[in-house]
Amino acid sequence: MATTDPASELTSPPAQSAASLLVMVAAMPPEQVEKVLANLAASFPADGLLIATQNELAAASNPALRIVPAPTTNATWTLTAADFANAYQLAQKHEARAILMLGPEAGSLQTSALRDLAGAVLTASIDLAVPCYDLPPHAGLVNSAILYPLTRSLFAARVRFPLAIDLGLSLRMAERLANAAQRFTALNQGDAILWPANEAVAAGYSIDEFDVGPRVLPQPADPDIRAILASVTGSLFADIEAKAAFWQRPRRLPPPRPAVAHKPLAEGSSDVGSMVEAFRLAYTNLQEIWSLVLPPNSLLGLKRLSVVDAAAFRMPDTLWVRIVFDFLIAYRLRTINRGHLLGALIPLYLAWVAGHINAAASGINSESHIETLATHFEADKPYLVARWRWPDRFNP
């Protein structure tokens, strides 16, 4: 969360000279910070580099690098509104031309990833440089099931990780995000989540995506999937609601980038049976809530799914799309308490995950399944637009 007076934490001796690149390094253990600093030193000329970190010992142990203190925030697993506000203030103070933001565990990034993300915004050709991480097939599934396909279908942005924790920002992109952050920091909600890709598209700014290889993703302090899904999905739903006038207009999706071959990554075991049982239990207990959100056709689809054996369990993509869209509508209309609404989405999400894992086990490429899902979101966007404009028209 942002401090009560962020400006006071930015006071430091006058800048020696303008920096070409400001690198904001998130809070992380000293050994991680040292790895990040070593990678930065190997990737960029020291005279054009300014590094801001919350690690107090970093400057003393790296005299060859120009390091300044960064304001303290509570970011532990993703970038926050306070991070973006602080980054822009520091960039202005030190006359930086571009910003590279690195999230927790950034020491696992390759030096080529740092150069790609920073190089794109330093040349002034790109406003927002985003990474495409190479993750195990069963990792980041909230992103794959909800964040990515929603962002792609509504904002016509091919950003595989809309909540990426490493970003390259042009100065005007940083200013845009800092302005968006002000409404949260003013309410002492500096730990709120921003959606850079949505902001860039709405502003007409340029976006590019770079394959950065594998990355270790930091874990939230509370790893409960219920809290994570409610926080992240609720934040995205709120951003979609705020930008409704923009995304309802037709937009053309950019062409896909050339596919990159990824090395198979180790995958842990996933208990499909427990996910299916959680869905079945919810089907028994949450009928009243689901019937307030979902139309009869979707409820019928869930009824059929509730009797499918776990080994053959697979939620149809078209059903999942309608579920997400109808929950988004219910969020906008406040059909029920928003916390209860997002809680009622969790067992449905687990049902989708169980089907996704089964699909992969049957030989279907995980990434291909996610891309197919995204195309279904795009095809069904007119349904969401119609329900957004006339919400009562499709009520059961």
Looking at the domain assignment, is residue 265 inside a domain?
no
User: Cα 116 to the chain's mean position, in Å?
Assistant: 19
Same domain, 194 and 327: no
Looking at the domain assignment, is residue 147 inside a domain?
yes
d(CA 374, CA 156) in angstroms, rounded, equals: 11
pLDDT at 394: 52
Looking at the domain assignment, is residue 267 inside a domain?
no
- Per-residue tokens: 109: 């990034």
pLDDT at 139: 85
pLDDT at 58: 79
Same domain, 103 and 184: yes
Same domain, 91 and 129: yes
pLDDT at 314: 97
Same domain, 239 and 342: no
Same domain, 222 and 286: no
Q: Domain count of the chain?
A: 2
Looking at the domain assignment, is residue 252 inside a domain?
no
Same domain, 70 and 210: yes
pLDDT at 9: 43
d(CA 203, CA 200) in angstroms, rounded, equals: 5
For residue range 155-170, what is the model confidence (pLDDT) as tens digits? 999 999 999 999 999 9
d(CA 285, CA 91) in angstroms, rounded, equals: 52
Same domain, 126 and 239: yes
Same domain, 62 and 120: yes
Looking at the domain assignment, is residue 286 inside a domain?
yes
Q: What domain range includes position 148?
A: 15-247
Spans in the chain with pLDDT lower than 70: 1-18, 221-222, 259-269, 393-396
- Map tokens 């303290």 to a residue: 72
Kindly report the CATH number assigned to the domain that includes residue 77: 3.90.550.10
pLDDT at 259: 64
pLDDT at 60: 80
Looking at the domain assignment, is residue 254 inside a domain?
no
pLDDT at 56: 83
Same domain, 237 and 308: no
Same domain, 232 and 278: no
Same domain, 342 and 237: no
pLDDT at 254: 87
Strands 166-170 and 128-133: antiparallel
Handedness of CA 52, 56, 62, 68 (dihedral sign): positive
pLDDT at 196: 97
d(CA 193, CA 55) in angstroms, rounded, equals: 23
Looking at the domain assignment, is residue 258 inside a domain?
no
Residue that terminates a domain, selected from 197, 232, 247: 247
Same domain, 205 and 337: no
Q: Are 183 and 73 within 8 A, CB to CB?
A: no
pLDDT at 183: 87
Q: Are 17 and 70 within 8 A, CB to CB?
A: no
Residue that terminates a domain, selected from 201, 230, 247: 247
Looking at the domain assignment, is residue 8 inside a domain?
no
